Every structure is written in structure tokens, then in C-alpha cells.
Amino acid sequence: MALPVQARDEAALQASIDAALDSRPDGEGGVWLFVYGILAADPPFACDERARARLPGFRRSFCLRDSFNRGTAQAPGLVLGLEPADGCDGLAYRIAETNLREGLSAVWRQEMRFPCYEPIWREAALPQGRRTILTFDTNRAGPFYRPETDAAQTAGIIATRSGPAGTNRAYLDETVRAFRDAGVVDPYLESLQTRMDMVGQRAAANL
């Protein structure tokens, strides 16, 4: 069933960026952005630095329905959000102050058109020490939140859904590839790939 949610327009996106920057901790030059999903495959912004990062207190999860990019209203796909857990390994990108509005606008247009995420400042561990970092946490009060309860069901959805931006399987594969290339391996993502390979093998055997 279609969710009656209107996309944010440009004015609303810019107002959301302003709100995030207004709460930025003092003393930070530019912004460190924590990336844990598909943004790592093709970041839509210029960055001065990139580093591995660990965000304590969370993990990746396919806990958000996607009815507009990797799925449809009739058959939503799934995309990554964050859920409380021990920690999440990802990448941190530093966007310089001179490129900040342009860079964040590109991110907001990609990630914040619908109420899937909440931009929040959190501390993360980088090789050069702890940094206050901008994180897109899951909007658990939003209409797209779907707590993940069964890995096999999650894999089955990802294996079969697609939308205007491509297949849900490609979303997962591109994310895994980007993090592998950066030296970040997540057993959760790897296990989902394995499960989807099994789904494909079973489907081929039944032809």
C-alpha cells in the first residue's frame, strides 16, 4: 500500500540543513560525515579527507522500507538504517567549510527527501582520534521504519525488489563492494549476500 508521504521541497531541505548546522558542536572545522550505506559507492560531494570510522552504540540494519528508489509502493524494497547495538564500522568523510553548503545539499537531496533519517551529531572513533561526526540515524517514528526480525525474509525482499534507481540487490552489492575496497567488512552484509545467492540457486533449480 502506498504511504501518503510528500517529499520535502528544496526550501524544506535547506531548512533542515540549517537546523543541523545550528546544533553543530563548536570548534569543528568543516564537517565529518559518517557513511554506512550506499553513499560510500558514489559520494555526491567533494571531501578533503576520508578515514575508516567506528560509530559506537549502533549497527547497520535493513530496517527502512523504500518505495521510491529500490522498490515501488506496491512492492517496497529495503535500505540501510542504524539500530542500537555494539558498534558500526564505516567511513568518515570530511567536507571542508568552503564546500559545506554544496556538499550537504547534495547529501540531503539524496537522503532526506523523505522522513527516513534524522541527522544527529555523535562521537565516532577515527584513526586520528575521536571526532564529533554527523550521522544519519534511523527515524524510528517515521512511516518507513520496519524493524528487521528475520534475516531470510530480508534477503528474500532484497533479492526480488527493484525501483527507479535499480534493483535492491544492486544496492546491497554496490555497498558491500565500496566498503570492501576501503577495507571495511561487515559480516551482516556478507551474510545477506550469501543468503541471496542461495535464493538465486534455489530459483534456478526450480526452472
pLDDT tens digits, 68-106: 999 999 999 999 999 999 999 999 999 999 999 999 999
Q: Give CA separation, 87 vs 60, 103, 125, 180, 199, in Å.
A: 9, 26, 10, 18, 29
Give the rounded percent of residues in the chain with a pLDDT score beyond 70: 93
For the residues 163-174, what does the mean pLDDT come to? 96
- Which CATH number belongs to the domain containing residue 134 in this structure? 3.10.490.10
Boundaries of domain holding 87: 10-200
In a domain, 21, yes or no: yes
Q: Alpha-carbon distance 204 to 167, whole Å?
A: 18
The yes-or-no verdict on residue 124 having pLDDT over 80 is yes
Q: Specify the pLDDT at position 106.
A: 97
Q: What is the count of structural domains for the chain? A: 1
pTM of the full predicted structure?
A: 0.92
Q: Alpha-carbon distance 163 to 79, whole Å?
A: 12
In a domain, 205, yes or no: no
Give the rounded percent of residues in the chain with a pLDDT score beyond 90: 86
In a domain, 1, yes or no: no
pLDDT tens profile 21-68: 999 987 667 899 999 999 999 999 999 999 999 999 999 999 999 999
Q: Alpha-carbon distance 102 to 118, whole Å?
A: 19
